[in-house]
Amino acid sequence: MAGKTRTVTTFFNDSQYRGILFQILLAVGLVLFGKWLMDNTLQNLANQGKSLGFDFLTSTAGFQIIPTLGTWLFDYEVGVSTYLDVYFIGIVNTFVVAILGIVAATVLGFTIGIMRLSDNLVFRGFATIYIELLRNIPLLLQLFFWYFAVLRAMPGKRDRIELIDGVIGLNITGLYLPAPMADADFIYSVFAVLVALGITLAVRRYAIKRQADTGQALPMFWIGLGIMTILPMIVFYASGSPLEWSLPEFKDTGPKLRQGYQDGAGMLLVPEMLSVWLALSLYTAAFIAEIVRAGILAVNRGQTEASYALGLRPNITLRLVIIPQAMRVIIPPLTSQYLNLTKNSSLAVAIAYPELVSVFAGTALNQVGKEIEMIFMMMMVYLTFSLLTAAFMNWFNSRVKLVER
């Protein structure tokens, strides 16, 4: 009797056993909860006369999508393209605006972040106002502002604002840019760029070796710039300038209905996309600016002083001492800002830019009604991208981590 009590006591007092017991309970509870959810869902679906399955992906979609890179790439046509095409169009449009946004936000963010550290009060003040204003106002409001208050207020269809006469113009239907029209021969110029890149890298290797051996540095920037511009230019002209620009065409004469910008000439960026791009990059730039500032401030002042003491000039110090160390601090949060930007591109649903959420989980979902499958497919895209970024971050962190003693 006494022996038995002792065993039970020992069992309960041993944190290891208690842990195992708790975990088993947790797992069982979770499985039961999952089963309950599953049963409910199947029951509800059965009541609504629906079933699970991905057959809908092959049926054709019957709604218009505004012209964007995605619709152009997949040749979208109402009644011909399938829901799978719609899915891919959504993904392409999401990533187009995300990549454009990332580029713009990085450039602007680094500029503002460095301005924030300037000795010049005007620069510093501008950067501070920019950062505080933009990051304390919801992105959705900024998106509405750019779309409804700015771009929807542009001149009407038969009118325009010319940013560069005859080349770039803007009205309520969007921004018109020249479109590059490449011949088949243009491929040689592309090859030439690749070859030039290879040569530059080879020369750079030689330059580094030479500097290590003799202490003599080559003006690598100018050499690289020369190779990278001259070689492709020679090839471009030798192959007969195989690239033409299609300029946007504007008519203000003729029948009233035909006036305005003409289809098929130039490149059109629709206002939906422009406002998403503007809002995302301006908003994210404010966060990137703060990250850059923190990164530069994180480099100990002694580093600059030591570098000067060694006789390095200020711009070399910046390039070889400060920036590499600041980047170590900057890159992890920077990546997570890129991730945020990509996820925030889903806000475009509010102004009907045809990205993934809007076109697939919005319009298509309303037509097909496959809530579970479609939301699952949509979430998988974002989740995959997030996990890939996280994997990259782990790899990067392990590469640049300070070796601690």
Partner 1 sequence: MTKETQRQSEAGVPVAFVRREDAPLLPPPPSQAGLVGWLYKNIFASMSDFGSIGAAVKSVLMAGLTVILLYFLATQFYGLLDFALFSAVWSDPDGVKREACWTVEQGGALPAGWHAACWPYIAAKAKFIFYGAYPEDQLWRVNFAYVVGAVMLVWVMIERLPYRKPVGLLLLTAYPVLATVLLTGGGFGLSATTVGIYTILGLAAITFGRLGKLGRITGPLADLAQIAGVAGWVLIFLAAILVLVGVDFNLPAVDTRDWGGLLITLVVAITGIVASLPLGIVLALGRRSEMPVARFLSTVFIEFWRGVPLITVLFMASVMLPLFMPEGVNFDMLLRALIGVTLFSAAYMAEVVRGGLQAIDKGQYEGADAVGLSYWQSMRLVILPQALTHVIPGIVNTFIGLFKDTALVSIVGIFDLLGAAQSTLADPAWSTPVQGITGYLVVGMLFFIFCFGMSRYSMYMERKLSRGHKR
Q: What is the binding site for partner 1 (CB under 8 A)?
A: 5, 8-9, 11-13, 15, 19, 22-23, 26-27, 30, 37, 40-41, 43-45, 47, 118-123, 125-126, 129, 132-133, 135-141, 144-145, 148-149, 153, 343-344, 346-347, 349-350, 357, 361, 365, 371-372, 375, 378-379, 382-383, 386-387, 390
Q: In whole angstroms, how close is the CB of 383 to partner 1 at the nearest point?
A: 4
- Single-letter residue type at 137: I
Choice between 118 and 229, CB closer to partner 1? 118
| CA 91 vs CA 37, 69, 84: distances in Å | 29, 11, 11
Q: In whole angstroms, how close is the CB of 387 to partner 1 at the nearest point?
A: 6
Contact predicate 249/170, CB 8 Å: no
Smallest Cα–Cα separation from 335: which of 94, 101, 134, 102? 102
Choice between 181 and 383, CB closer to partner 1? 383
Smallest Cα–Cα separation from 152: which of 41, 272, 71? 272
Choice between 23 and 241, CB closer to partner 1? 23
Find the helix packing angle between 83-116 and 121-135, rounded to 10°.
150
Phi, psi for 164 (deg, rounded to 5): -130, 125
Choice between 170 and 227, CB closer to partner 1? 170
Find the helix packing angle between 220-238 and 186-214, rounded to 10°.
160
Q: In whole angstroms, how close is the CB of 146 to partner 1 at the nearest point?
A: 10
Choice between 326 and 341, CB closer to partner 1? 341
Choice between 157 and 210, CB closer to partner 1? 157
Q: What does the alpha-carbon distance between residue 371 and residue 362 come to, in Å, rounded to a whole number? A: 10
Q: In whole angstroms, how close is the CB of 44 to partner 1 at the nearest point?
A: 5
Strands (E), 212-337: 243-246, 250-251, 260-261, 267-269
Q: In whole angstroms, how close is the CB of 346 to partner 1 at the nearest point?
A: 4
Phi, psi for 159 (deg, rounded to 5): -135, 170
What the block records as the tokens of 308 is: 């000067």
- Single-letter residue type at 67: P
Choice between 41 and 241, CB closer to partner 1? 41
CA dihedral for 375, 332, 133, 147, sign (positive or negative)? negative
Q: In whole angstroms, how close is the CB of 6 to partner 1 at the nearest point?
A: 9
Choice between 140 and 400, CB closer to partner 1? 140
Q: What does the alpha-carbon distance between residue 318 and residue 307 come to, in Å, rounded to a whole number? A: 9
Q: In whole angstroms, how close is the CB of 78 to partner 1 at the nearest point?
A: 24
CA dihedral for 181, 185, 187, 190, sign (positive or negative)? negative
What the block records as the tokens of 310 is: 């060694």
CA dihedral for 145, 148, 149, 153, sign (positive or negative)? positive
Q: In whole angstroms, how close is the CB of 158 to partner 1 at the nearest point?
A: 18
Region for residue 75 given its phi and psi (left: phi exceeds 0; alpha: psi -120 to 50; beta: otherwise): left
Choice between 43 and 300, CB closer to partner 1? 43
Find the helix packing angle between 2-13 and 15-47, rounded to 10°.
70
Q: In whole angstroms, how close is the CB of 180 to partner 1 at the nearest point?
A: 32
Choice between 30 and 243, CB closer to partner 1? 30
Q: Which residues pair with 261 in a beta bridge?
A: 250
Q: In whole angstroms, how close is the CB of 20 to partner 1 at the nearest point?
A: 8
